[in-house]
Amino acid sequence: MADGAPVTLFDPYAVRVQFPILSRQVNGKPLVYLDNAASAQKPRAVIDALVATMEGGYANVHRGLHTLSNEATEAFEKAREIVARFLNAETPEQVVWTKGGTEAINLVANGLGLSIQPGDEIIISEMEHHSNIVPWHLLRERRGAVLKWIPVLDDGSLDMAAYADLLGPRTRMVAVTHMSNVLGTINPVAEITRLAHAAGAQVLVDGCQGAVHAAPDVQAIGCDFYVLTGHKLFAPTGIGALYGKAEALEALPPYQGGGEMIGVVEKDRVTYAAPPHRFEAGTPPILEAIGLGVALDWLAQYDRAAVQAHEHALYRRAADRLAEQDWLRILGQAEGKGAILTFAVEGAHAHDVAQIMDRYGVAVRAGTHCAEPLAKRMGVTSSTRASFALYNTVEDADAFVDALIKARNFFV
């Protein structure tokens, strides 16, 4: 949506009808889709844009001299501008296309890794997704980096006093999630960044959840890098973005080699393009990037505060209805948390709970949610997660609780 365009009145029922898949049934019941933290559904605007591009405007981007290539390039680069505006980046050149959040984190970790010395420290938290753990473990294994962990308190918030104590002269990177994909905790990433910079360290924020449910203003946060993924933002899979401060991107060496990311290639030397193209080797995800731009433009028509209030109200309705159930433990009660309700049912495995709920048309996720250190910290081997989005309704929240109570009755 262009700057200054009017904001559409937020009505979850009007939003819902824009998602064709939400009208289907599962096991003879209306679909109640509460697996949004894993992947969100796609609105008609995105579906139509992908079809229209494939049918009438597709070609490879950049360097083409023909009409289709020029049209595709314009749409592709417009999408980069939309992401930059969404994140409040200073320029579109600070947005690097990746195939998702995981690749974006690996890009930064690999670039940093070339200068890591044995004993250099990387700080991450106990609530990180594996995508923001394993790339740093690779630097521990290959370069001798030392991983330090910010503890998670019982309510699901970060122990900020312990974090401050972890920072030191050998700290090179602090990598933390904006919003936990398990607990829903929204972390104070601006304060985390301020303390890290005071210690001379860089900061990477994993915004794969925060970009959807929090406020991804990279200038206000002040971080060096911010990561997002398209498929949680109502866009296709296979597309993500890395924001970097101009000086941070300029200091990173190339992540992959190939076409597009070069300046000059000769037999005895090669020069590299300036960011962002330095990090975009090969044919990029053209359709997917265009789809992400359309998704963010579509999302921009709704007031973010109204969406967040709606999502939180659904979480609160479900949590309040479950509050008196002594057989259920909700993981994460941090103040201001996002609309993720992760829980453990006494005497039942999370996988069994999720499968039984599916009989009633309710889609939730079960397991460790790619966050094994957090599961261990919270004292569970697995849990079940319901995650709300702007197209969910009060009826969805009630259907979730009703199905959960029915599922629990299978185990008593």
Do residues 97 and 230 make contact, with C-beta atoms less than 8 angstroms apart?
no
CA distance 299 to 65: 33
- The 10 Å CB-count burial string (b at 16+, else e) for 37-73 is bbebbbbebbbebbeebeeeebeebbeeeeeebebbb
Q: Which helix (H) or strand (E) holds 162?
A: helix 160-166
Q: What angle do CA 142, 146, 148 make, to 5 degrees?
A: 140
**What φ, ψ does residue 3 adopt, rounded to 5°?**
-60, 135
Whether residue 370 lies in the annotated active site: yes
In angstroms, rounded to a whole number, what is the distance separating the alpha carbons of residues 104 and 117? Answer: 22
**Spatial distance between the Cα atoms of 296 and 369, rounded to a whole number of angstroms:** 26
Whether the CB-CB separation of 386 and 32 falls below 8 Å is answered with no
Residue with tokens 């009703």: 402
| Nearest-angstrom CA–CA distance, 7 and 297 | 11
Other Cβ atoms less than 10 A from the Cβ of 291: the count is: 28
Active-site entry in 96, 353, 370, 375: 370
**Alpha helix (H) residue ranges in 277-412:** 286-299, 304-322, 350-358, 372-378, 394-409
- Torsional sign, CA 157, 390, 105, 330: positive
Just list the catalytic residues.
370
